[in-house]
Amino acid sequence: MRAMLSCCTAATLVTALACSSDPVSPGSVARAEAGRWATWVLPRGDALRPPAPPAEGSAQSAAEIDEIVRLQSARTAATDSVVRQYAGDPGAPWSRLAVGRLDLYWPLLPDVLVATPVRAARVMSLLHVAMYDAVVASWDAKYAYIRRAPASASGRVKALVPLDGVPSYPSEHAAAAAAAARILTYAFPLEDTASFTRQAREAAESRITAGAAYRSDIDAGWALGAAVAQRVMDRAMADGSAQAWTGAVPTGEGMWQPTPPRRVQVPFDAMAGSWRTWIIPSGSAYRPGPPPAIGSPQFKADLNELLQLASGGRTQAQIDAARYWATDAPSIRWELFAEDEIASHRLSAPHAARARAYLSAAMYDAFVACWDTKFTYWMARPVTMDASLRTVFSTPPFPSYPSGHSTQSSAAAEVMAELFPDRAAFYRAKAEEASLSRIWAGVHYRFDVTTGEALGAKVGDAVVARMRSDGAQ
């Protein structure tokens, strides 16, 4: 039976959906294919397919309908508010929550593990990969079983949210929430981690009151999301990020030294260049050549450019841009851009999850590649080479070459251009601004920026190549 269901053709789906009382949107059949998209930690979308749901009209389904009727008869303004809060994109609440937590940790608590650029990107990639695979797996099962939502199956149940013709079993909201709760608990251990699970359960069960899901839909989705999250966690525990650096800072002319005012003695994440990547072969796969030699014409020209900016050449617009891009971990700006585009383009749940996963994975991989290069060459920061240099803000505590902002922003812009081609020029311009902001701030040489842009473009190209072969086109 399972084999027969998994072989469902698009024509069969059209017939099945046409027999449903749900309104069928033009994208319903296209969305049915999402269960076959390439996954990250699962071998394929059907790897964790749950058993078939209770049959419509069975005693269990009838009991579940009775539960929904009771819940809807006891509705309050508070319960309706919760239903509305979680009515849309199942990944959005958890992405926003993570961004908010990272905003609190960066840069006020430099000793907390997530409060570095590369670790912030890692957290978002783990979260978004987990939710993506959970959503793809739920889509596989949805169109294997094609269970009508409660509000479509029974006139006793009201639809308090749009159903959009998507089968209800298992619940994608429950799958995304369960996956997110597990990753957030791991990522933010200093928080009230039990609150992540409580909020996730609230989000999942709001779909029952909404008439969009049976309790068995929620239970199956929750189990699916938890299982996916465990696979992501297994990978995270073995990605190298827990390995402590036991090396020594090299000495000599042009080598990195602790920078004022904090003069952090141990540079952040010296081992990050060896961490496991998502898409590129390794952090060293695209490693660029060394920076210009100290005292070379290019080195002198690029340092002099910074000194001239610091001596009155900076405009207020340049100072504002430098501060804008330095306020948060740099990848967070791009995460927020993506949230805006996902909402304005009204992406389906699978497409929204896909957008988040690719963007976050691209930025994480770009940071790993950048950190590999930083700690291969250990280039001194500009303020080390000329102590008279006045920067807009404190210099970050790791080597200069290449620029992390330039590397990850260049990669992010290429992914955003692929996802939202109507906005490609805008995001490429944003990436250029992010790069230049580091020169305007006085914390990077121009050669840091140009090398970072080239490195990020290679990472971005590799990610886009995977996107074009993942089955979602």
Q: Has residue 222 got a pLDDT over 60?
A: yes
DSSP secondary structure of 218-268: HHHHHHHHHHHHHHHHHHHHTSSTTPPP------STTB----TTT--SS-T
Domain positions in the chain are: 26-237, 272-467
pLDDT average, residue stretch 231-242: 97
pLDDT in tens, 160-182: 999 989 999 999 999 999 999 99
pLDDT over 50 at 11, yes or no: no
Percent of the chain with pLDDT over 70: 91
Pick from 411, 407, 426, 410: nearest CA to 463: 411
**How high does pLDDT run on average in the chain?**
92
Distance CA 310, CA 303 (A): 11
pTM of model > 0.75: yes
Q: What is the pLDDT of residue 9?
A: 35
pLDDT at 114: 55
Tell me which architecture the domain covering 26-237 has in CATH. Answer: Orthogonal Bundle (1.10)
Residue 21 has pLDDT above 60, yes or no: no
Return the pLDDT at 13: 39
Residue whose entry in the numeric block shows the structure tokens 């976050």: 360
Answer yes or no: is pLDDT of 463 > 50.
yes
26-237 matches 272-467 in fold: yes
Contact between 175 and 135 (Cβ < 8 Å): yes
Asked if pLDDT for residue 301 goes beyond 80, the answer is: yes
**23 vs 359: which has the higher pLDDT:** 359
Q: Residue 275: which of 321, 319, 232, 243 has the closest Cα? A: 243
pLDDT tens-digit profile of 426-454? 999 999 999 999 999 999 999 999 999 99
Res 288 pLDDT > 60: yes
Q: Fill in the DSSP letter of residue 470.
A: S
- Are the C-beta atoms of 271 and 245 separated by less than 8 Å? yes
Q: What are phi and psi of 379, to 5 degrees?
A: -70, 135
The pLDDT score that the predictor gives to residue 327 is 84
For residue range 104-159, what is the model confidence (pLDDT) as tens digits? 665 444 455 556 999 999 999 999 999 999 999 999 999 999 999 999 999 999 99
Question: What span, in angstroms and rounded, lies between the C-alpha atoms of 243 and 406?
Answer: 26
Q: How many Cα atoms occupy the beta-carbon half-sphere of 416 within 13 Å?
A: 28
What end-to-end distance do the CA atoms of the chain give, in Å? Answer: 29
Is pLDDT at 247 greater than 70 in this prediction? Answer: yes
* Contacts of 247 by beta carbon, 8 Å cutoff, 6+ apart: 270
Strand partners, 379: 255
Q: Specify whether the CB–CB gap between 160 and 83 falls below 8 A.
A: yes
| pLDDT-based confidence at residue 328 (cuts at 50, 70, 90) | confident
Please, what sign has the CA dihedral across residues 217, 218, 220, 225? positive
Q: Are 133 and 35 in contact (CB under 8 A)?
A: no
Q: pLDDT for 25-46, tens place per residue?
A: 334 445 789 999 999 999 999 9
Residues 313-327: what's their mean pLDDT?
96
Reported as a single tens digit per residue, the pLDDT across 347-374 is: 999 999 999 999 999 999 999 999 999 9
What is the Cα Rg of the chain in Å? 25
Q: Which helix (H) or strand (E) holds 426?
A: helix 424-441
pLDDT of residue 324 exceeding 60, the answer is yes
State the pLDDT at residue 105.
61
Domain 272-467: which CATH class? mainly alpha
C-alpha distances in Å from residue 430, one per residue of 277, 337, 405, 433, 437: 25, 10, 11, 5, 10
CA distance 276 to 282: 7
Q: Please tell me the distance from the alpha carbon of residue 30 to that of residue 397, in angstroms, as a whole number.
A: 48
